[in-house]
Amino acid sequence: AIFGAMSIVWDREFGFLKEVLVAPIDRWAVAVGKALGGTTQAMIQGLILLVLAPFVGVKLSVLTVLAIIPLAAVLAFGLASFGVMLASMMKSLQGFQVVMNFLMMPMFFLSGALFPLTGLPGWMTVLTRLDPASYGIDPLRRVVLSDSGLSSAVVDRLGLTINGHVLPIPLEVGVMLAFGVVLLGIAVVMFQRRD
């Protein structure tokens, strides 16, 4: 989702963005359209993975898949908005790629997508709680693990906690949604200021 915004930098570098920005549409529509386009692209890729999951031994019920889809959409929207916000500030494609890799790798590794967020050193625990992707990954993990037959106590222990309290999924979704809306708002402001 986040790399979908690369086209903004590409268009700016080759002059196409100026033509888009002088079109008879509001500039905010360009930013929102890019974010929603990135979200849609990520959702299509995610749905392909969900379809392929049974072929690699991942058993998901229909209810689990139906729960995953909106959670994945919120995560994709947050990351796409992050990409659009960064792309609205960048002038070169190479610079965008460097910044994205510099930011995305730590966000990905600290999100809990690769390992549980429990038992980490204190400093790393703080970083995982500051990583917005953690709030998008954790609900997905909890939904998938709850379908695997693990007890809810075990699933909660593997999830995101603050001061020992398990965060409810609606709160995590709200944090991720707020992250996406705020960053998209910043991107809209940046697009309004573009010359």
What is the rounded average pLDDT of the residues 171-182?
Answer: 96
Average pLDDT, the chain: 86
Say yes or no to pLDDT of 23 above 70: no
Residue boundaries of the structural domains of the chain:
2-193
How does residue 14 score in pLDDT terms, banded at 50, 70 and 90? low
Helix/strand/coil for 131 = coil
Distance of alpha carbon 162 from alpha carbon 165, whole angstroms: 5
The pTM of this model reads 0.87
How many CB atoms lie under 10 A from the CB of residue 90?
Answer: 20
Say yes or no to pLDDT of 17 above 70: no
Nearest to 79, CA basis, from 50, 47, 41, 129 = 41
In this predicted model, what pLDDT tens digit does every residue of 84-139 receive, in sequence order?
A: 998 888 888 788 888 888 888 899 999 888 888 888 888 998 999 999 999 999 99
Query: For residue 166, what is the enclosing H or E element?
Result: strand 165-166
